[in-house]
Amino acid sequence: MPHLSTSVMHRLPSGKTTTADRLLVAAGELMTERNSIDVSLHDIAEKAGVNAALVKYHFGNKDGLMLALLERDAVTEMANLEYLLAQPISPSAKMRLHIAGIIKTYHQFPYMNRLIHYMLHESGGEAADEVSKFFVGPLLDFQRRLLAQGVAAGEFRHVDPVLFYTSLVGACDHLFFSRHSMTRAIGVGPVTDQVCRDYIAHMETLILDGLLRPERAVS
Amino acid sequence: MPHLSTSVMHRLPSGKTTTADRLLVAAGELMTERNSIDVSLHDIAEKAGVNAALVKYHFGNKDGLMLALLERDAVTEMANLEYLLAQPISPSAKMRLHIAGIIKTYHQFPYMNRLIHYMLHESGGEAADEVSKFFVGPLLDFQRRLLAQGVAAGEFRHVDPVLFYTSLVGACDHLFFSRHSMTRAIGVGPVTDQVCRDYIAHMETLILDGLLRPERAVS
């Protein structure tokens, strides 16, 4: 995956946007380093090497900056999905890559999952609308088209795309959102690279093939 | 399902616990009526017909009352799971009933999902530990035993119980936790009885049989 900021760097006109980009890159890196979305505007500005007052100028406030960061990431992710959909491989192979892609993206950018939850559930309604618009809508639309490809190819059962989205995204999300509480309850460790790989393999089999053994699934 | 408070009513010694029970019942009913966990201690006490000061006496504070409510519900749910595990039906049939049970319980008691999220993610660490201890741990333990039954009966593939728990609970949880944002993004309606029935059917097929059509799953 290319560095996430690339597309926005290219998308925006040059000039004063350079400062905005630097702030977004700094915010993403800082949250990744600290493994927390609880970073101050002061620290973000310092890491970006710009005056903290410029955050207000470019983004209004911290929620505005976080929203811009999520939108930057969403643009990249959705471009990857369009690319995947157009590949000359089977719908099943695309679905496996999509499942792995969701889990890898959450793992690579731990702040993304938490920011989405924060924006959807704790910030004001307007930020939630924005996140829905550039994350939930396009992702659902992608899955709708992939599911249709799979049904047309005779590979997939017919499933309701909204219900499928809910189950797949919910299951992927929960690895990152719930691991903390599971660590407490049952002593499982954090989400390491190995846990991530194991979960990808688990989800590919569960979503594509189901829990039943093949000879039972047919009967 | 019996009225949730029954088991606690019987479990606790009579006397001053009657007031505590009345407060728990009132809190559950009030949050269900209002479809929100944002209820005041004053309103809970009023509905229970007891003095608000007694909340402090019995539960310390509102988080204490909410924790006691979740524990009451957890005790009932875990008893149902033990009952299910002992039934003379196939592991596949038990798994279908379990999936339906999770979704129905969240639907019937909408506050439960939100309270668990609140306790695990927003309240203090001690409350999160408690919720993990009486919800996450026993539910995982039940699934571990059911999965073992299914493998022993030759019906299930071998899956890691922790990863399976994450995917199943995450998928069920997401219907209730994410519907609000999906309503915004794509205009789907709220979680009605019909949506719930549809999701149960979807999840039973997805988890047991997978997305691939049977003749493909075998190949």
* Contact residues on chain A for B171, CB-CB shorter than 8 A: 166-168, 170-171, 174
On average, the pLDDT of chain A sits at 85
Q: Is the pLDDT score of A25 beyond 90?
A: yes
Read off the pLDDT of each residue in A28-49 and give the average, rounded to a whole number.
Answer: 90
Q: Which of B95, B105, B186 is nearest to A165 (CA)?
A: B186
* Contact residues on chain A for B162, CB-CB shorter than 8 A: 182, 186, 188
- pLDDT for the residue B10: 41
- pLDDT for the residue A154: 95
Give the separation between CA A101 and CA A204, rounded to whole angstroms: 11
- pLDDT for the residue B185: 64
Per-residue pLDDT of chain B in tens (219 residues, 90 and over written 9): 333 333 344 444 544 458 999 999 999 999 988 878 889 999 999 999 999 888 889 999 888 999 999 999 989 899 999 999 999 999 999 999 999 999 999 898 878 888 887 887 776 677 778 888 888 889 999 999 999 999 999 999 999 999 999 999 999 988 887 776 667 666 777 888 999 999 999 999 999 999 998 865 544
Q: How confident is the model at residue A184 (pLDDT cuts 50, 70, 90)?
A: low
> Given B133, B203, B208, which is nearest A167 (Cβ)?
B203
At B171, list the tokens.
Answer: 């998928």
The answer to whether A159 contacts B211, with C-beta atoms less than 8 Å apart, is yes
- pLDDT for the residue A191: 85
The DSSP output letter for B99 is: H
The answer to whether B157 contacts A198, with C-beta atoms less than 8 Å apart, is no
Phi, psi of A108 (to 5 degrees): -70, -35
Give the separation between CA B146 and CA B166, rounded to whole angstroms: 15
- pLDDT for the residue A216: 57
Across A34-38, A73-77, A170-174, B214-218, least confident range? B214-218
Q: How confident is the model at residue A185 (pLDDT cuts 50, 70, 90)?
A: low
* Residue A41 resides in a domain: no
* Residue B27 resides in a domain: no
* Residue B8 resides in a domain: no
Nearest CA in chain A to B189: A162
Nearest CA in chain B to A92: B212
| Per-residue burial over B30-58, b = 16 or more CB atoms within 10 Å of its CB, e = otherwise | bbeeeeebebebeebbebbebeeebbeeb
Q: What is the value of ipTM here, to two decimals?
A: 0.84
Read off the pLDDT of each residue in A185-191 and give the average, rounded to a whole number.
Answer: 75
* Residue B146 resides in a domain: yes
* Residue B177 resides in a domain: yes
B179 or A7: which leads in pLDDT: B179
> Given B156, B202, B211, which is nearest A207 (Cβ)?
B211
Give the separation between CA A192 and CA A103, rounded to whole angstroms: 12
* Residue B114 resides in a domain: yes
Model confidence over A82-117: pLDDT tens digits?
999 999 999 999 999 999 999 999 898 878 888 887
Termini Cα distance of chain A: 42
- CATH number of the domain that A167 lies in? 1.10.357.10
> Given A129, A210, A217, which is nearest B184 (Cβ)?
A129
How many domains does the structure of chain B reveal?
A: 1
* Contact residues on chain A for B131, CB-CB shorter than 8 A: 181
Give the separation between CA B150 and CA B18, rounded to whole angstroms: 42
At B142, list the tokens.
Answer: 């039940």
* Residue B1 resides in a domain: no
Query: In percent, how much of chain A has pLDDT > 70?
Result: 85
Task: Determine the structural domain holding residue A161 and report its residue range.
Answer: 62-218
Model confidence over A13-24: pLDDT tens digits?
544 458 999 999
Which residues, 6 or more positions from A94, have their beta carbon under 8 angstroms from its beta carbon?
Answer: A84, A85, A87, A146, A149
* Residue B15 resides in a domain: no
Q: Which residue shows structure tokens 């001053």?
A: B16
* Contact residues on chain A for B160, CB-CB shorter than 8 A: 198, 202
Distant-in-sequence contacts of A98-104, Cβ < 8 A, 24+ apart: A98/A142, A98/A143, A98/A146, A99/A168, A99/A172, A99/A200, A99/A203, A99/A204, A99/A207, A100/A200, A100/A204, A102/A168, A102/A169, A102/A172, A103/A172, A103/A175, A103/A196, A103/A199, A103/A200, A103/A203, A104/A196, A104/A200
The answer to whether A181 contacts B132, with C-beta atoms less than 8 Å apart, is yes
